[in-house]
Amino acid sequence: MSSDSALHGTGAALKRTRGGRDRLLQAATELFNAHSLAGTSLQMIANALGIRKASIYSHFESKEELINSLLVPVLDEAEAAVGRLQAGPDRDRAEAGARFLADFYVEHRRVVGLVLLDRGGLDPALNARVESLVAALGAVLAGNADPAAAARGEGTVYGMAAVVQRRPTLSDPELRDLLKEVLGIDD
């Protein structure tokens, strides 16, 4: 098997399968986190996998499509959850939002920084969705209080993303505990 059709170090083919696509997304995520969305090329991803760049095109038509495939499902999930939080009781909204934020950031720790802190490589429509999501989640965290409280909520959304991104070696339980402590959540 040639290096053009093998994953680096495994000899497994990167065929147009779900497994091949998942390995490609995993390698891309690692490189995006190391070099940024804009700073990572398709060639870098191909090199990391030990494949030809052309092989990536059997899974994705462009780098933008690859990025969207990685981030859109995470945004969809967050938007749905924020919608449920907004529809919930006012008295529980802020705490429920903080619990959601801690759990969601742990579950999606490999991409949360890309979505919130490294948006230079996002297309304008995806960037607008992120802005809208941050504003909505900021309002939830503020208990839908005054604009200044909502702005502090937005700062919390970004700040917690930075906490996650800067602590990649923490285990999921350690990270969740840290986020809950910072957010003032008692268990």
If asked whether residues 71 and 151 sit together in one domain, one would say: yes
What pLDDT sits at residue 16? 60
Q: Considering its fold, how many domains does the chain have in total?
A: 2
The last residue of one of the domains, among 60, 85, 108, is 60
If asked whether residues 99 and 51 sit together in one domain, one would say: no
- CA distance to 130, 144, 148, per residue, from 135 (Å): 9, 11, 12
pLDDT along the chain (187 residues), means of 10: 37 60 96 95 97 95 95 97 92 92 97 91 92 95 85 95 95 96 89
Q: Which residue has the tokens 């680096």?
A: 8
- DSSP category for residue 6: B
The last residue of one of the domains, among 60, 87, 111, is 60
If asked whether residues 96 and 115 sit together in one domain, one would say: yes
If asked whether residues 56 and 74 sit together in one domain, one would say: no
Q: Which residue has the tokens 């800067």?
A: 166
Q: Which residues constitute the domain of residue 124?
A: 65-183
153 touches 98 (CB < 8 A):
no
If asked whether residues 46 and 76 sit together in one domain, one would say: no
List the structure tokens of 71.
């981030």
If asked whether residues 48 and 70 sit together in one domain, one would say: no
If asked whether residues 88 and 11 sit together in one domain, one would say: no
- DSSP category for residue 13: B
If asked whether residues 8 and 82 sit together in one domain, one would say: no
Which of 66, 149, 151 shows the shortest CA–CA distance to 111? 66
List the structure tokens of 7.
């994953």
What pLDDT sits at residue 146? 84
Sign of CA dihedral 122, 19, 31, 7: negative
If asked whether residues 85 and 127 sit together in one domain, one would say: yes
The CATH number covering residue 23 comes to 1.10.10
